[in-house]
């Protein structure tokens, strides 16, 4: 079914708008005799035009770059690699609106209506709290997350109108895995050679943040490596997609067992308990989707046995790394005192912050409708002072104050109430559960086809997301992940349908 609207006129309207924005942008820098940003934007437009040659295949850059949240620091552009990928794909999409008389129209289902309700609701919250728009009578600052949200909406709109081949589906998954491994390797090198952080950080900003001061003595297992968390989870998810985790011990599956163990070691070295819970849920879900109740029983028994092994190990002379013990400190055992205290302090710090936020009107002014992104300039200055220990607060209290002002509560529900209120929280949870149900149905439909792996790769994380969001570690920004994932599921659904039609034709 094709759209009946004049897409060429819409595309031209968008381009004219972009041209006007660029004219204002360039005029400001020309007045200051600063031509570097202008050259950067023009260069980006040239790359964008060249990128059009890829056609609809260019949209694959969205899922491939989705995990790259750092910036290319040598470019004078305030966008992450993920955002640049969506911007490039948006250029391809807009060119399609201009140069094609008809554009494929995505079918709308109940999950899409929920998605658009969430999108419109945040737009309403924005106009109630218009951060960064003095013309609307506001002095709010810190509205950059709106850009990421808008690009998340674009990724959903673009992907939901695409189809991919089985070869492209395999390429997307493998590219994501290899990019994740590459980032981990470089991060590990920087860990041991922190002096490289400043240099490598010019090419990818996260590499600079992985560097540790050269005069600081650190050892693997004593310092949490955040870079290993995401890469470890990527490896675990990939292995859980390729083969039933309970069958990895079988002959011919050992390479997946090896990669899975490497992923688990990465997660343990990262020292984040939330990552360990994530790994357990991904593994358990993979088994359950394949073997139903029997698979769930097997994985529960296996995890319980493995947990018992670690508990018994804690009473021996075997000394597990500090990060391992921190991640396992929720289990009863003879763990290192500092590891236990670190975990308990983290929990107490969060609970105190949640209680303060929810029992006061200081940090969330409108709990029903939400405050949106952004905060008063006076609050921003107070946050900066608190984070640097200036004033009456210092140490962990200053850090807590800073987090409460900017709304990073380490809690999905409370963070959502801050941004879009109770109404937005209900809408987001409904969208999360509906998208998870969509993913389960898609995984079952794709079983035995070339799209099974990619359906599992993007489906497993989104199915467990509501649990992580509510009970372990979440943030309202997860809505961009939900929108991106929904776009991926719509794309896979359309591709699977086309594949089945083609297979039926070949059989007949």
18 vs 268, which has greater pLDDT? 268
Question: 142 with 406: CB under 8 angstroms?
Answer: yes
Burial class (CB in 10 A: 0-12, 13-18, 19+), 44: middle
Three-class SS of 109-132: CHHHHHHHHHHHHHHHHHHHCCCC
pLDDT in the model for residue 214: 38
Q: How confident is the prediction for the chain on average, in pLDDT?
A: 79
How many whole angstroms separate alpha carbon 455 and alpha carbon 173? 10
pLDDT in the model for residue 494: 93
How many whole angstroms separate alpha carbon 217 and alpha carbon 206? 21
Burial class (CB in 10 A: 0-12, 13-18, 19+), 224: middle
Name the residue among 383, 492, 439, 418 with its Cα closest to residue 122: 418
CA distances from residue 220 to 1, 18, 230, 270 in whole angstroms, order as listed: 56, 49, 17, 10
Q: Which two tokens stand for residue 401?
A: 């104050």
Q: Is the pLDDT of residue 149 over 80?
A: yes
Q: β-strand 375-376 against 140-141: which pairing, if any?
A: antiparallel
Could you tell me which residues come within 8 angstroms of residue 260 by beta carbon, excluding any fewer than 6 positions away?
235, 236, 239, 240, 245, 248
pLDDT in the model for residue 221: 46
319 vs 371, which has greater pLDDT? 371
Q: Which two tokens stand for residue 139?
A: 């002095």
481-500 pLDDT per residue, tens: 999 999 999 999 999 999 88
pLDDT in the model for residue 144: 81
232-260 pLDDT per residue, tens: 899 999 999 999 888 887 767 788 889 99
- Is residue 28 very low, low, confident or very high in pLDDT (cuts 50, 70, 90)? low
């Amino acid at each position: 079914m094709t759209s009946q609207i004049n897409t060429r006129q819409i595309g031209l309207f968008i381009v004219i708008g972009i041209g006007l924005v660029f004219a204002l942008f360039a005029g400001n820098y020309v007045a200051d005799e600063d031509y570097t940003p202008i050259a950067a934007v023009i260069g980006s437009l040239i790359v964008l035009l060249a990128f059009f040659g890829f056609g609809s295949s260019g949209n694959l850059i969205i899922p491939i770059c989705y995990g790259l949240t750092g910036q290319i620091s040598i470019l004078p552009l305030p966008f992450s690699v993920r955002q640049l990928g969506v911007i490039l794909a948006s250029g391809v999409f807009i060119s399609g609106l201009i140069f094609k008389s008809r554009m494929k129209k995505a079918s709308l289902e109940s999950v899409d209506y929920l998605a658009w309700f969430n999108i419109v609701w945040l737009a309403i919250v924005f106009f109630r709290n218009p951060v960064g728009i003095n013309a609307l009578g506001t002095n709010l600052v810190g509205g950059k997350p709106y850009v990421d949200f808008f690009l998340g909406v674009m990724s959903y709109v673009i992907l939901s109108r695409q189809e991919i081949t089985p070869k492209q589906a395999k390429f997307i998954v493998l590219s994501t895995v290899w990019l994740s491994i590459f980032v981990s390797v470089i991060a590990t090198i920087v860990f041991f050679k922190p002096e490289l952080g400043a240099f490598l950080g010019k090419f990818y900003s996260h590499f600079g943040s992985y560097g540790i001061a050269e005069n600081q003595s650190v050892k693997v297992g004593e310092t949490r490596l955040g870079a290993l968390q995401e890469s470890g989870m990527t490896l675990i998810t990939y292995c859980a997609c390729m083969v039933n985790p309970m069958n990895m011990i079988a002959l011919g599956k050992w390479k997946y067992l090896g990669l899975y163990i490497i992923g688990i070691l990465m997660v343990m070295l990262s020292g984040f308990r939330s990552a360990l819970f994530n790994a357990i849920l991904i593994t358990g879900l993979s088994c359950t989707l394949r073997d139903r109740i029997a698979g769930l029983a097997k994985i529960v028994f296996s995890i319980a046995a493995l947990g018992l092994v670690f508990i018994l190990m804690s009473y021996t002379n075997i000394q597990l790394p500090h990060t391992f013990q921190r991640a396992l400190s929720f289990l009863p055992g003879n763990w290192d005192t500092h590891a236990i205290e670190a975990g308990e302090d983290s929990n107490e710090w969060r609970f105190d912050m949640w209680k303060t936020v929810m029992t006061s009107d200081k940090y969330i002014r409108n709990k029903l409708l939400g405050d949106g992104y952004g905060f008063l300039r006076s609050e921003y200055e107070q946050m900066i002072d608190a984070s640097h220990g200036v004033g009456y607060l210092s140490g962990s209290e200053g850090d807590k104050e800073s987090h409460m002002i900017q709304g990073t509560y380490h809690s999905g529900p409370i963070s959502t109430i801050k941004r879009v209120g109770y109404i937005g929280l209900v809408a987001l949870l409904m969208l999360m559960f509906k998208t998870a149900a969509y993913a389960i149905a898609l995984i079952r439909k794709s079983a035995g086809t070339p799209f099974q792996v990619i359906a599992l790769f993007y489906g497993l994380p989104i199915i467990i997301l509501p649990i992580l969001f509510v009970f372990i570690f979440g943030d309202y920004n997860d809505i961009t992940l939900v929108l991106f994932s929904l776009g991926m599921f719509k794309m896979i659904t359309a591709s699977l349908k086309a594949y089945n039609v083609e297979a039926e034709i070949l059989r007949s």
